[in-house]
């Protein structure tokens, strides 16, 4: 079962209360490493692309890379577009084959976000694709999208209204989480997840995964956070493993690109495997 609908991947995780890692890849090497780690762990996985990565690599090249690698996997995988406020990019990715999108209209007034999200869900349905929605900006700027100030949290009634009216497949509530590196372990409003899920049993997305403790991950996954986003940790692992290898290459005056790629691939795979173990998705494929 290789490329699998977003909704199907998340339903199994939600029902069995494990988390599916959603990793933001930045190029072919990191894409391959994420898929290899998931395959080796027999774990489902979500590959995410930021709008910046889509624009940098280009829609067709990125999708072709994804499709050629993903079709050979034996574990459930899907391609998701992370935080996207731009309807034109959403439409282009859906038409090209992305399996799901996060329509990020959190900067718009609530009613307008709700109205447009209903349209995005209808558009995605035409392709059999899924939608993640949000009504508050997650703190922190990620690949040029977001804000450093936390937006006010909406009430439970508003959250439930949004989920019911839009028909989204996954909801990303702000619970004190943030993108990027936390200065200290954040205090999370885990109860908000329980409050929403107990009335509206829908998979929740946990953003800002990098820097949370194993206990926080496991508690939130048990409450219904079935999609767990990791971006910053992948970027750090990617950059630091390149740096370490290049420093050694310089010291030895030995310059062999394939050896560098192998070294970085291993570091990213190990990082991903570690998260799959924490999220409890190993062997769930």
Our finding on whether 139 is near ligand 13P (CB under 6 A) is: no
Q: CB of 82: closest distance to ligand 13P in angstroms?
A: 5
Q: CB of 37: closest distance to ligand 13P in angstroms?
A: 16
From the list 35-43, 201-209, 217-225, 249-257, the region that binds ligand 13P by CB under 6 A is 201-209
Spatial separation of the C-alpha atoms in residues 68 and 47, rounded to whole Å: 14
From 210, 218, 237, 265, residue interacting with ligand 13P (rule: CB under 6 A): 210
Residues designated catalytic = 82
From 207, 223, 227, 284, residue interacting with ligand 13P (rule: CB under 6 A): 207
Q: CB of 142: closest distance to ligand 13P in angstroms?
A: 6
Site pattern 61..90 for ligand 13P (x: CB under 6 A): ---------------------xx-------
- Footprint of ligand 13P on residues 217-276 (CB under 6 A)? 229-233
Report, in angstroms and rounded to the nearest whole number, the Rg of the chain calculated over CA atoms.
18
**CA–CA distances in Å: residue 40 to residues 43, 120, 245, 265, 280:** 8, 35, 24, 14, 14
Ordered alpha helix ranges (H), 17-80: 28-41, 51-57, 59-70
From 21, 44, 133, 209, residue interacting with ligand 13P (rule: CB under 6 A): 209
Characterise 131 by phi-psi region: left (phi > 0), alpha (psi -120 to 50), beta (else). beta
From 7, 80, 96, 179, residue interacting with ligand 13P (rule: CB under 6 A): 179
- Backbone dihedral angles phi then psi of residue 46, each to the nearest 5 degrees: -115, 130
Closest CA to 4 of 46, 66, 54: 46
Residues, the chain = 285
Beta-bridged to residue 206, according to DSSP, are: 228
Positions in the binding site for ligand 13P (CB under 6 A): 24, 82-83, 142, 179-180, 207-210, 229-233
């Amino acid at each position: 079962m290789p490329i699998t609908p977003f909704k199907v991947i998340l339903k199994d995780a939600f029902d069995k209360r494990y988390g599916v890692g959603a990793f933001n890849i930045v190029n072919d090497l990191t894409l391959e490493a994420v898929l290899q780690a998931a395959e080796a762990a027999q774990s489902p996985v979500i590959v995410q692309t930021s709008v910046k990565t889509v624009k940098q690599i280009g829609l067709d090249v990125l999708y072709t890379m994804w499709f050629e690698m993903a079709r050979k996997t034996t574990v459930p995988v899907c391609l998701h577009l992370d935080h996207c406020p731009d309807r034109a990019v959403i439409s282009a990715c859906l038409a090209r084959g992305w399996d799901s999108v996060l329509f990020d209209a959190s900067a718009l007034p609530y009613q307008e976000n709700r109205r447009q999200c209903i349209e995005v869900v209808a558009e995605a349905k035409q392709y059999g694709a899924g939608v993640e929605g949000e009504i508050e900006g997650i703190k922190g700027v990620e690949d040029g999208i977001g804000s450093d100030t936390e937006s006010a949290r909406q009430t439970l009634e508003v959250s439930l209204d949004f989920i019911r009216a839009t028909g989204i497949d996954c909801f990303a509530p702000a619970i004190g989480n943030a993108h990027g590196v936390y200065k200290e372990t954040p205090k999370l409003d885990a109860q908000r997840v329980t409050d929403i899920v107990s009335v509206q049993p829908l998979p929740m997305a946990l953003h800002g995964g990098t820097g949370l403790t194993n206990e926080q991950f496991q508690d939130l996954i048990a409450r219904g956070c079935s999609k767990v986003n990791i971006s910053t940790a992948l970027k750090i692992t990617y950059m630091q493993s390149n740096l370490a290898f290049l420093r050694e290459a310089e010291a030895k005056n030995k310059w062999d690109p394939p050896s560098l790629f192998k070294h970085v691939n291993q570091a990213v795979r190990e990082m991903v495997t570690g998260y799959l173990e924490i999220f409890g998705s190993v062997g769930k494929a």
